[in-house]
Amino acid sequence: MGVLVGKKAPLFEATAVINGGEFAEKFSLEQYIGKKHVVFFFYPLDFTFVCPTEIIAFQDKIEEFEKRNVAVVGCSVDSEFSHWAWLNTEKSNGGIKGVKFPLVSDISKTIAENYDVLAGEYDYNEEGEMEFHGEAVAYRGLFLIDKQGVVRHQVVNDLPLGRSVDEAIRMVDALQFFEENGEVCPANLKPGDDAMVADADGVAKYLSNH
């Protein structure tokens, strides 16, 4: 699994469904550079069991992201038509109706490949025929991208393991606190907690944030 932290996030142009039902043919994360932080996450497939719980959880906390000036963008290997159908299916029937943030279609699997979250790979068999080994879907990867387009945090879960949206928000807070104050963030930092600075001798000390 590749580490993208500290590197430019791979850019792309792909079709996405935005605002719960509108097609955007040349959607790109580039639109956010210089303007917003981005939480860009992958999920395996539409119309599954764990994925709607995560996506709805992100939507439930969307105001928390928006007040931090953070764009939330989801992505899977499904087509834009599958995204649209899922977004227009009631939650009681396994859908995600009411979700408004963009869902990107990575039907070519190139975005997942570039972010190194594809749960398998292509190879040739003994007959020289191309085969896919593993599952042709994305792991549950999440990437926090700053306003310069640089990945500052990533986490990748195996397919059965759902994510914590609250942890994604905490990482946004930690990054933004560092950007605004220049101090490092200790474990489990939350708004109002003490940050840390190094003194002239390089010894870490807590700095009151109250």
Domain boundaries in the chain?
14-163
Pair 163, 40: CB distance under 8 Å: no
Q: Is 51 a catalytic residue?
A: yes
Phi, psi of 76 (to 5 degrees): -145, 175
CATH architecture assigned to 14-163 = 3-Layer(aba) Sandwich (3.40)
What letter does residue 202 receive in the DSSP assignment?
Answer: S
User: In sequence order, what are the beta bridge partners of 184?
Assistant: 196
Q: Tell me which of 51, 112, 119, 174 is the catalytic residue.
A: 51
| pLDDT digit string, tens, across residues 92-141 | 999 999 999 999 999 999 999 999 999 988 888 888 888 888 889 999 99
Residue 209, pLDDT > 80, answer no
How does pLDDT run across 178-204, given as a tens digit for each residue? 898 876 655 655 555 554 444 444 444
pLDDT in tens, 34-83: 999 999 999 999 998 777 889 999 999 999 999 999 999 999 999 999 99
Mean pLDDT value of segment 19-48: 96
| Residues 6+ positions from 167 with CB-CB distance below 8 Å | none
As to burial, measured by CB atoms within 10 angstroms (0-12 exposed, 13-18 middle, 19+ buried), residue 120 is middle
What are the residues whose beta carbons fall under 8 Å from the beta carbon of 49, sequence distance 6 or more? none
**Rounded Cα–Cα distance for residues 178 and 186 (Å):** 11
User: What would the two tokens of residue 28 be?
Assistant: 């790109």
